[in-house]
A and B are shown apart, each in its own frame.
Chain A
Amino acid sequence: DAGITQSPRYKITETGRQVTLMCHQTWSHSYMFWYRQDLGHGLRLIYYSAAADITDKGEVPDGYVVSRSKTENFPLTLESATRSQTSVYFCASSERTGLLAQHFGDGTRLSIL
């Protein structure tokens, strides 16, 4: 089924560990985004990518790393996880940024102990 897929859906890890969240889309959308959603803050943009090999910071990029070697994949890595990074992470994609809506994956619920 075409769409946007995130994995894993749930992850528990410990502080200091490296964690990678995966995002894969089959629409061939140029733009991909990573958000985190926390109570009291809503959805906040971490990083986004306009095309393969083009990435840029969002509102809350510290502690995260992204890459985009292929159009369809946009992994998000927490290099040394901290408790403050416990959150629900959503990946989204869009054919064009700005004018067209973004479509979201099912999310990854990440808990850092």
Chain B
Amino acid sequence: NAGVTQTPKFRVLKTGQSMTLLCAQDMNHEYMYWYRQDPGMGLRLIHYSVGEGTTAKGEVPDGYNVSRLKKQNFLLGLESAAPSQTSVYFCASSYVLAALREQYFGPGTRLTVT
């Protein structure tokens, strides 16, 4: 099992450019998440999905869009990148169990917007 994988690992964008980050999981998890990590801020939830075809906003959704067309994939899009979106992005997935809420994380994508 590869677990949770993220593509790409690194990316540099110019302000105003667009890009899509891809997350894939092979654990048959229902839930998937996108977080960003900034120095001194911990992990902040951008968007999440509770199943194929459904998405919801997290704590910091502005400037991002997501799609979950297939259960195993969760895409994060930046339509017009801004320097404030320079961050490390993590994807995660989890089971649908009240007694088992651990999330499994990918290795991260380091994005720099100049």
Do A and B interact with each other, yes or no? no
Q: Which residues of A contact B (CB under 8 A)?
A: none
Q: Which residues of B contact A (CB under 8 A)?
A: none
